[in-house]
Structure 1
Amino acid sequence: MVAILTSDKAPASARQRVLLVTGVLGAGKTTALNVLEDLGWETIDNFPIRLLDRLIDSGEAPAGDGAIHAPLAIGFDSRTRGFNPHEVIQLVKRLTARADLELTTLYLDCATGELERRYNETRRRHPMASDLPVVAGINAEREMMEPLRRWADIVINSTMFSANQLQQAIREQFSPDSGPELTLTVSSFGFSRGMPPVADFVFDMRFLNNPHWDTVLRPMTGREAAVGDFIRQDPAFDTAYVQIRDLLLTVLPRFRAQGKAYVHVAFGCTGGRHRSVFMAEQISAALRASGFSLTILHRNLGSRAADLVEGATTR
């Protein structure tokens, strides 16, 4: 359920955006707040909701300075000190009438059976169950929270969601129109000088013919045209390039949709100066042409070309 709030009192862009995040315990409030924080919201959990108007007023910018505040997400639940759902609703009604605020309430719900399963798996005691079975605490809390569930502008039921699916649902509902940015790095390295410490994809280019064993090409790098022409002549190059490119163009948008913040794609060869550099450059160009912004790093580009590193074979 989604309600669209409108007001003719002030432009939406000039109003402080406030999201109240609540719901039954175990439905995913903490997960939702963590995702909102990643999306650039200021987040506060377990805030005494009766003090909400004071919190908002304390953060107001001086009149006329044109400052734009980050959106604010405030989490609270049945454990919050002084919690009373009817008083919360009355407070929200008063704040909604303010011309300087855009206030929305998100309620996270979950079926009783799934909540019971989650409590049993984590072995946590429900705060309202005491010495009773966990389902008794769940039912008591659900009855207490029902007025807020009916009042909420947005209700997300997490019964069938994994943690990752709930994160995605929050991102889809509250991320900016442009969506979350993906920080993409494409790098080259030499296996003989050690693997990169962290990489999501590692492609080994040592199956390609090695320019090192051409005495003219040896001092050059994979950034130079002569080296690139040599590597392209390998019968395996075109197929490998197309398959790697298509794989990345398939998975990178999915990573971005899932909210992954960083992706590192690494290409390795023996010394890290020729084959890995050339393939990293070629794949980077293809990704940029498809709309991705990325950083390219060549770890061993300045390393000395040496037979000892490359080995005694023509690989």
Structure 2
Amino acid sequence: MDLTRQGFADALVELGHETDNVVALDADLSCSVLSAPFAKQFPHRQFNLGIAEQSMAATAAGLSAMGFRVFIASYAMFAAGRAWEIVRQQVSYGEANVVVVGAHGGVSVGKDGPTHQCCEDLALMRVLPKMKVVVPCDYWETFKTVKYAGKTTGPFYFRMGREKVPVVTGKDDPWELGKANTFAEGTDGTIIACGLMVALALEAREMLERDGIRPRVVNMHTIKPLDVAAIEKAIDETGAIVTAEEHSIIGGLGSAVAEAVVQSGKPVPMRFVGVEDRYLESGAMNDLLKQAGLTSEHIAAEVRTVLARRR
């Protein structure tokens, strides 16, 4: 178990040593989002804009125009939500070299309550032209995402969680933007997951295997650009799809996969595991995940549902 934001902290510091054009901005939350280690080592390249996320995004676009690759980090509700208009107008439209980091995303932020439980960030970022959108599943995927984002160009968004999550990838495992990773092969439907739901998808597969059901498990870490080839392969070889995400079922991973399925011309049974059209409440992470149906048991049940509908 480890923090995804620790992967951000470690990779950002490494980037700082590798190149002098990386700059980090935060909105009075460097100790929460873990950009503080970068600030300690590179105090002249870290700036606290205060509780002013719109100004942070605008400043980042300006720094980008001066040749810097800028990371702006805050809670997802603020980085993707409050600052959305500025991210749209100056980062996306301006094709600025800015990485928007949404920390404490999803319901797993827990006791901070519904005002901070951002389950809309993927939809908000995915709709923006030129914006790349990634949801790492653990420490190492976050580390690799940061290293990639720091050396590429254009608008980029990725999400981190608050609590520790299982580490299901390794330092040397492959990671490529827009290229899904298959974590388990199978022909009894496919579970396509992102973020902390990847570990739960693997648990669901273990549960189903006891009954002789072997679904494929795909880690779709990149929401945009989407790995359409992996989806079409899942359609052809497994005949059913369940998506799993710590996000609203509207506009996120499930919606992106459904769009790809429709455009493939090969309709298959689909079910979505995600946050329904609702707000949750303040509570412990695991209690909220259970309340939202973001569990391995629910994923397994939905696999059984789609398999029953498979032709």
Please report the TM-score for the alignment, with normalisation by the length of structure 1: 0.29
By relative contact order (CA 8 Å, sep 6+), the higher-ranking structure is: 1
Larger Cα Rg: Structure 1 or Structure 2? 1
Please report the TM-score for the alignment, with normalisation by the length of structure 2: 0.29
